[in-house]
């Protein structure tokens, strides 16, 4: 199967949706691809759970409604895993595969949570903050469950509020950032009244829940599932009984696809110019891969991209002012929620770092780098392909992955078998047990 478009958008979160709508409104032939079965990305992926519809729910309805009315061809449930030529992406859905040809490409692949290893972090019911929220949105019942929320970043407060609305009891929210950093962050919010209001609203929603800065989990305890978590609170250990530990250390951009295409990366993010153009011709990028800044920034960057890709440069530049204000917020998020060095000493020799391949910290600490660790221990060689442990080892040992190769996500051999033409993939024919 092959498809041809003026503008191909990868990622149907707020950034991708805004880009697709704006480009389609300007008359471009647009397609949007997302691995999820529905548009909305991380934030709009399910009902908000609030009894009264709030701004987020209103925005979700407005933008996904606009997308369904726009002349945009949608490919939901499709995962982009390769870029066989400069103007082609390759995607898979179950056993099907297709090539998407484009004149302009918009990368809006969002971000994911960072996990750090500590004793017990692989126990059942220790989950990512956003991961647990996603499971509750998909129907996991948590009424009456005690959930400790820990890690860093504004997602802790947002998810704690969400879990409370679904009947969970939150004994404590542990934030690794210091009170001093949080105070500076709050002061910076005075220049962003919308964000300040959102923060106050979340604070109201978490109610009397204990919030502790300078705090992080040092161990999740339990035999078959988590039963309690030991946290370090301003240097003192405290053990808190719980049914779940929701734990995430802020967000990191999904930049595998831009790396595969050869886009330049700066300070961990895709480098873009004023019009969100990457260093590769006709490849644009919007939303979290260019900086972690929240839904409003993703939306405005998406609009700028859609207009730029459609050649509406003057229209696009009218949005620069709004974007700059929101980028200031993104920079203050980066400063406030930067990981403190003490977290590097959380793993013990027997702590698993690569959970796909069961690789212990003791096997990794003497390796010279990411490549050596992969060769010697299989760290990063399992189904997640280093998407989880690679971020942890980058923080723990300062290792950088030295290449990104397709498939950037696991894909079935059957999906590949019907494809023809150029490919970056090296397929091995397996015969009689020999490859
Ligand atoms: C787990 C998680 C939970 C979050 N929860 C909240 C919250 O409760 N409240 C809040 O304010 N903010 C939340 N955020 C932050 C929020 O996601 C961002 O502020 C904003 O929505 C980002 O929009 P985006 O369009 O840049 O990216 P996203 O919304 O992340 O959208 C990116 C999309 O790209 C798709 N994608 C990525 N790679 C591929 C590929 N190769 N092929 C096909 N599709 C692909 C993904 O499936 C996803 O739908 C959360 C973030 C995460 C990671």
For 286-296, write each residue's pLDDT tens digit.
999 999 999 99
Position 429 pLDDT exceeds 50: no
Three-state helix/strand/coil letters over the chain: CEEEEEEEEECCCHHHHHHHHHHHHCCCCEEEEECCCCCCCCCCCCCCCCCCCCHHHHHHHHHHHHHHHCCEEEEECCEEEEEEECCEEEEEECCEEEEEEEEEEEECCCEEECCCCCCCCCCCCEECHHHHHHHHHCCCCCCCCEEEEEEECCHHHHHHHHHHHCCCECCEEEECCCHHHHHHHHHHHCCCHHHHHHHHHHHHHHCCCEEECCEEEEEEECCCCCCEEEEEECCEEEEEECCEEEEEECEEECCHHHHHHCCCEECCEECCCCCCECCCCCEEECCHHHCCCCHHHHHHHHHHHHHHHCCCHHHHHCCHHHHHHHHHHHHHHHHHCCCCHHHHHCCCCCCEEECCCCEEHHHHCCCCCHHHHHHHHCCCCCCCCCCCHHHHHHHHHCCCCCCCCCCCCCCCHHHHHCCCCCCCCCCCCCECCEC
The per-residue pLDDT for 400 is 87
Name the residue with the closest Cα to ligand 1, atom 19. Answer: 294
For 247-260, write each residue's pLDDT tens digit.
999 999 999 999 99
What average pLDDT does the chain have? 92
Average of per-residue pLDDT across 338-346: 97
Q: Rounded distance, CA 54 to CA 56, Å?
A: 6
> Is residue 298 within 8 Å of 31, Cβ to Cβ?
no
Position 302 pLDDT exceeds 90: yes
Average of per-residue pLDDT across 124-148: 96
Tokens of 421: 């033409």
The number of beta carbons lying within 10 Å of the beta carbon of residue 430 is 9
For 396-422, write each residue's pLDDT tens digit.
999 987 788 888 988 888 877 766 555
Position 46 pLDDT exceeds 70: no
- Whether ligand 1 lies within 6 angstroms of the CB of 298 is answered as yes
Query: Which of 10, 11, 50, 90 has the most ligand 1 atoms within 8 A of CB, as the residue to mutate?
Result: 11
The backbone torsions φ and ψ at residue 73, rounded to the nearest 5 degrees and listed phi first, read -80, 130
Q: How confident is the model at residue 192 (pLDDT cuts 50, 70, 90)?
A: confident
Identify the bridge partners of residue 73 per DSSP, sorted by sequence position.
31
The per-residue pLDDT for 12 is 98
- Whether ligand 1 lies within 6 angstroms of the CB of 161 is answered as no
The per-residue pLDDT for 165 is 94
Position 433 pLDDT exceeds 90: no
Query: Which of 15, 41, 296 has the most ligand 1 atoms within 8 A of CB, as the residue to mutate?
Result: 41
Position 2 pLDDT exceeds 80: no
Name the residue with the closest Cα to ligand 1, atom 35. Answer: 11
What's the CA-to-centroid distance between 277 and ligand 1, angstroms? 20
The per-residue pLDDT for 56 is 75
The per-residue pLDDT for 194 is 86
Q: Rounded distance, CA 13 to CA 17, Å?
A: 6
Task: Put residue 207 in one of left, alpha, beta given phi > 0 → left and psi -120 to 50 → alpha.
Answer: left
Average of per-residue pLDDT across 336-354: 97
Name the residue with the closest Cα to ligand 1, atom 1. Answer: 130
The per-residue pLDDT for 48 is 54
Q: How confident is the model at residue 434 (pLDDT cuts 50, 70, 90)?
A: very low
What's the CA-to-centroid distance between 131 and ligand 1, angstroms? 12
What's the CA-to-centroid distance between 219 and ligand 1, angstroms? 28
Tokens of 4: 């041809």
The per-residue pLDDT for 79 is 95
Average of per-residue pLDDT across 24-29: 96
The per-residue pLDDT for 50 is 55
Position 51 pLDDT exceeds 90: no
- Whether ligand 1 lies within 6 angstroms of the CB of 72 is answered as no
- Whether ligand 1 lies within 6 angstroms of the CB of 285 is answered as no
Q: Rounded distance, CA 313 to CA 308, Å?
A: 5
The number of beta carbons lying within 10 Å of the beta carbon of residue 195 is 20
Q: Rounded distance, CA 358 to CA 56, Å?
A: 39
Of 15, 118, 28, 134, the C-alpha closest to 73 is: 28
Q: Rounded distance, CA 362 to CA 365, Å?
A: 6
Q: Rounded distance, CA 324 to CA 322, Å?
A: 6
Of 261, 354, 274, the C-alpha closest to 307 is: 274
Position 161 pLDDT exceeds 90: yes
Query: Which of 110, 135, 284, 384 has the most ligand 1 atoms within 8 A of CB, as the residue to mutate?
Result: 110
Name the residue with the closest Cα to ligand 1, atom 20. Answer: 295
The per-residue pLDDT for 432 is 33
Q: How confident is the model at residue 430 (pLDDT cuts 50, 70, 90)?
A: very low
> Is residue 249 within 8 Å of 115, Cβ to Cβ?
yes
């Amino acid at each position: 199967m092959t498809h041809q478009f003026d503008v191909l958008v990868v990622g149907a979160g707020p950034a991708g949706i805004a880009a697709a709508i704006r480009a389609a409104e300007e008359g471009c032939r647009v397609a949007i691809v997302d691995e999820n079965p529905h548009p909305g990305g991380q934030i709009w992926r399910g009902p908000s759970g609030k009894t009264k519809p709030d701004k987020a729910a209103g925005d979700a309805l407005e933008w996904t409604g606009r997308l369904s009315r726009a002349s945009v061809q949608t490919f939901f449930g499709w995962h982009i895993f390769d870029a066989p030529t400069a103007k082609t992406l390759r995607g898979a859905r179950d056993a099907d595969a297709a090539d998407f040809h484009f004149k302009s490409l918009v990368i809006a692949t969002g971000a994911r949570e960072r996990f750090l290893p500590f004793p017990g972090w692989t126990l059942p019911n220790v989950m990512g903050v956003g991961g647990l929220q996603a499971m509750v949105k998909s129907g996991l019942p948590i009424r009456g469950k005690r959930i400790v929320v820990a890690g860093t970043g504004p997602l802790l407060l947002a998810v704690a509020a969400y879990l409370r609305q679904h009947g969970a009891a939150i004994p404590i929210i542990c934030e690794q950032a210091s009170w001093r950093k949080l105070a500076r962050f709050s002061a910076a919010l005075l220049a962003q009244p919308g964000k300040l209001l959102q923060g106050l609203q979340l604070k109201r929603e978490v109610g009397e829940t204990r919030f502790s800065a300078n705090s992080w989990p040092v161990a999740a305890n339990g035999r078959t599932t988590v039963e309690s978590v030991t946290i370090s609170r301003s240097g003192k250990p405290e053990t808190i009984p719980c049914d779940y530990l929701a734990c995430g250390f802020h967000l990191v951009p999904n930049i595998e696809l831009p790396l595969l295409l050869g886009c330049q990366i700066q300070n961990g993010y895709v480098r873009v110019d004023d019009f969100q153009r990457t260093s590769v011709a006709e490849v644009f990028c919007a939303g979290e891969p260019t900086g972690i800044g929240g839904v409003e920034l993703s939306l405005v960057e998406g609009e700028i991209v859609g207009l730029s890709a459609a050649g509406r440069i003057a229209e696009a530049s009218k949005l620069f002012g709004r974007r700059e204000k929101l980028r200031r917020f993104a920079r203050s998020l980066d400063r406030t929620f930067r990981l403190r060095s003490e977290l590097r000493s959380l793993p013990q020799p027997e702590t698993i770092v690569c959970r796909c391949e069961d690789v212990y910290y003791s096997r990794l600490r003497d390796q010279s780098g990411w490549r050596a660790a992969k060769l010697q221990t299989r760290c990063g060689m399992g189904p997640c392909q280093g998407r989880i442990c690679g971020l942890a080892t980058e923080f723990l040992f300062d290792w950088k992955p030295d290449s990104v190769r397709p498939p950037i996500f696991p894909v079935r051999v059957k999906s590949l078998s019907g494809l023809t033409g150029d490919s970056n993939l090296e397929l091995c024919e397996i015969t009689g047990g020999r490859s």
